[in-house]
Structure 1
């Protein structure tokens, strides 16, 4: 690993929008194929709603599970953070982000009430206190304009971030006892996951059950890879073809891979050694409109609509989280 700068003290930056990440999204939209829809809805008054609106959001992209039936979701281009509940069927803004921030992928630490957020083409990462809404720290992980910090996962030791334009990951240590954040480090990847043949490459990221192995989605390769957090060595999870793969969720041997431009989520069963995978179910819904990331909440999957098909930045009137069954017939 290489050392990166220490966290930047909180302040209100004013950063111009850079084009690299947006061009990558535009390329994905242009290459999207036909979309099929097989709606799957909840029945009965005791089940979660079909969708939960993010009030006054200008865009959307990331989501993560919170406590109980709650989730956190972000306004991609404004950087604001929402907290919602499957039980109440509502969401509200809890963090009004400083100007110039973005909110792409995110993950939540229940132990420390800490939300880690990837900052997209700013090259930054943010950590928020979800109780107070305050910024705990901001990191400049990579250079703005030549990077796209896309997603993040929390392990027992800290936060791992992907960069869609570079074959490297970034690690921010988090003290298990008091939640203090350490100095960021860069892990240069080796093997197939390190390659950057497309406009968007490394994308979603999650930690496997062993707590040491990462699973990363690679959009350009339509594949999933494992990454050794010590060596940076990567290995293909074989037998999978996942066009437009974006965010991922890992729970045991199940992996949910969101495939944005074809409006579906593939539920994958992986082998114990994470060397092979098999798609067991393709989840679609008539309410999906370019879903990007998902959160597993009980037996439900909360999937956020990015609506990139309306333009960049997107111009939809509303943005929402769609609730679908996470498990079907195995």
Structure 2
């Protein structure tokens, strides 16, 4: 979930991004995750190329691979894990798990949306999305999963039946983004979340006004820029909402900017910036209790089968 043409080449395994941006010394709070005995850093498989992370209702994290689309499951208590889903050859970028334990997977440049059962290690549905270019991230709302496309000003919806039934491909929703949305000539949409009141979506637009958050009405696709003052979010990647606190992973800056939103997410104010010397271009975030977990994507090195990857945990901000 990067914001440059170099990232697109990386996702097709032909090149890596350049070096990470320097951290701003302003408004920085060093993040620490002390307290519990569970590990605050644990390895992921060499060569795995992690990007997305999802944590459900048990202390286990799922990580998607940019390399082949596989999913790795790790215990937060021990840090140990294994591959629970073999990929289909394309990437897995963003992912989320629902209350049935299913994984909703954004397929990146494969232009696919996939739904999988990690317990059985099988794909339940694979949707080839017509016109898609890069299916990037996903958020679950009651009755529907919404996905971003970084190279098109649209959202894709996977509507669910009354009992969670998956739809036929013909029933997928394509919602054009309008209003304040700015697509530009390259990468724009990245992370996606819901608003605190649950009525709308928050989508990172890395182009608009130097990097913005948009409040999107899922019924119409109309986007309105969230007023966050002078804060710029050009490297906004994964978004994580906890109560009214929004964690914005500024990927290439190896930092997390934390904002406090109003209920409808029309306004927000900067709270703090979290950094950590263990951050090596983290991309996305998920929470368990008072910890925020992030995979280090290491986009500053060229990926090879022996490249080492890991995940780290930092303490969340008190609301």
TM-score, normalization by structure 2: 0.87
- How far did 1:279 drift? 1.5
Match of 2:183 in 1: 196
Paired residue for 1:269, among 260, 267, 270?
Answer: 260
Structure 1 unaligned blocks of 5 or more: 1-18
- How far did 1:220 drift? 2.4
Match of 1:299 in 2: 290
Is 2:45 the partner of 1:58? no
Is 2:136 the partner of 1:150? yes
Residue 71 and residue 177 in structure 1: after superposition, are their counterparts in 2 closer, same or farther (change >3 A)?
Answer: same
CA contact under 8 A between 1:69 and 1:297: conserved in structure 2? yes
CA contact under 8 A between 2:33 and 2:291: conserved in structure 1? no
Is 2:111 the partner of 1:120? no
CA distance in 1, matches of 2:295, 2:246: 17
Match of 1:6 in 2: none
Is 2:163 the partner of 1:174? no
CA distance in 1, matches of 2:165, 2:257: 34
CA contact under 8 A between 2:113 and 2:126: conserved in structure 1? yes
Is 2:206 the partner of 1:216? no
CA distance in 2, matches of 1:308, 1:21: 8
Match of 1:35 in 2: 23
Match of 1:68 in 2: 58
Is the partner of 1:309 in helix, strand or coil?
coil
| Deviations 1:180-218 (CA, angstroms, capped at 9, x unpaired) | 33421100111122x211532000001224333111011
CA distance in 1, matches of 2:95, 2:200: 18
CA distance in 2, matches of 1:67, 1:159: 18
The CA RMSD measured in Å over matched residues stands at 2.5
CA contact under 8 A between 2:195 and 2:264: conserved in structure 1? no
Is 2:126 the partner of 1:138? yes
CA distance in 1, matches of 2:236, 2:306: 22
User: Aligned pairs, how many?
Assistant: 304
Residue 127 and residue 320 in structure 1: after superposition, are their counterparts in 2 closer, same or farther (change >3 A)?
Answer: same
Match of 1:309 in 2: 300
- How far did 1:178 drift? 4.2
CA contact under 8 A between 1:48 and 1:323: conserved in structure 2? no
Residue 198 and residue 27 in structure 1: after superposition, are their counterparts in 2 closer, same or farther (change >3 A)?
Answer: farther
Paired residue for 2:175, among 178, 187, 193?
Answer: 187
Structure 2 unaligned blocks of 5 or more: none
- How far did 1:29 drift? 4.0
Residue 31 and residue 94 in structure 1: after superposition, are their counterparts in 2 closer, same or farther (change >3 A)?
Answer: closer
Residue 120 and residue 307 in structure 1: after superposition, are their counterparts in 2 closer, same or farther (change >3 A)?
Answer: same
CA contact under 8 A between 1:152 and 1:161: conserved in structure 2? yes
Is 2:233 the partner of 1:242? yes
TM-score, normalization by structure 1: 0.85
- How far did 1:21 drift? 5.5
CA distance in 2, matches of 1:94, 1:103: 13
